[in-house]
Amino acid sequence: MTSKLILQSKDFIKNRLEGDASGHDWYHIERVWKLSQTLADAENADREITELGALLHDVADWKFYGGDDSEGPRQAREWLESLSAPADTISAVVQIVEGVSYKGAGVETPMETIEGRVVQDADRLDAIGAIGIARAFAYGGAKNRLIYDPNESPQLHANFEEYKKNKGHSINHFHEKLLLLKDRMQTETGLRMAKERHRFMELYLEHFYKEWPA
Ligand code: ADP
Ligand code: NI
């Protein structure tokens, strides 16, 4: 049964993100929420913590708060406190919001709990495959980036600061993030799904480079 906390959080986040065109629209959250439920059941993770983490994971993305990655966890806490959620639920969910983001090619961001691993895998699955390709170009367009520039090669950021400064074209993003996600999956079901989406991205890139005049 879906708890009241989940239903209220769903309405809250839906109202907030509806209409965003940078890849963080409500449907991204809905897809991650649904994928998280599948992964949670396969992994025996707690459904309420997982679902709340999935719903709130992009409540305040650092990219829209001048690089400040403390705003998401802060707002998630504030929201759950306003609903008088139990303290252990709040801390488990805030920990997920804190840890979920990709921070650069050379930066490991393992999650401590199974619920965290499930939400992170679900978020990453939505960044790869056919939907992930669409999101990368939507994000690039929203940020005025080129789809591709053959003179600019990918950068493998050593830390979060370098990743934040990156303003490269969208094809670089495949090499700097999207193609690296498969090997960072933390659940068995997530990994299985990631492999299929990964293959599709490789095929897509093969065609992309083939079509680009030499
Ligand atoms: P997520 O919601 O999966 O954590 P992000 O917040 O990092 O992802 O970004 C939102 C979407 O925009 C993702 O699909 C991501 O791959 C894409 N994106 C992020 N940065 C870039 C970039 N520099 N170029 C192209 N796409 C990007
Ligand atoms: Ni997300």
pLDDT in tens, 128-184: 999 999 999 999 998 899 999 999 888 877 777 777 777 889 999 999 999 999 999
User: Can you give the CATH number for the domain in which 59 is found?
Assistant: 1.10.3210.50
Q: Residue 57: give the domain boundaries.
A: 4-211
Ligand 1 centroid – CA 139 distance (Å):
7
**Res 18: pLDDT:** 81
- Total count of domains within the chain: 1
Q: What is the atom index within ligand 1 of the atom nearest the CA of 167?
A: 23
Q: What is the atom index within ligand 1 of the atom nearest the CA of 177?
A: 16
Query: What is the greatest pairwise CA distance in the chain?
Result: 60
**Res 155: pLDDT:** 81
Q: What is the pTM of this model?
A: 0.93
**Res 21: pLDDT:** 62
- For ligand 1, whether the C-beta of 90 sits within 6 Å is no
Is the pLDDT at 87 greater than 90? The verdict is yes
Sign of CA dihedral 130, 198, 49, 58: negative
Which whole-number Å values give the CA distances from 85 to 40, 82, 145, 174, in the listed order?
A: 21, 8, 41, 39
Ligand 2 centroid – CA 82 distance (Å):
23
Is the pLDDT at 94 greater than 80? The verdict is yes
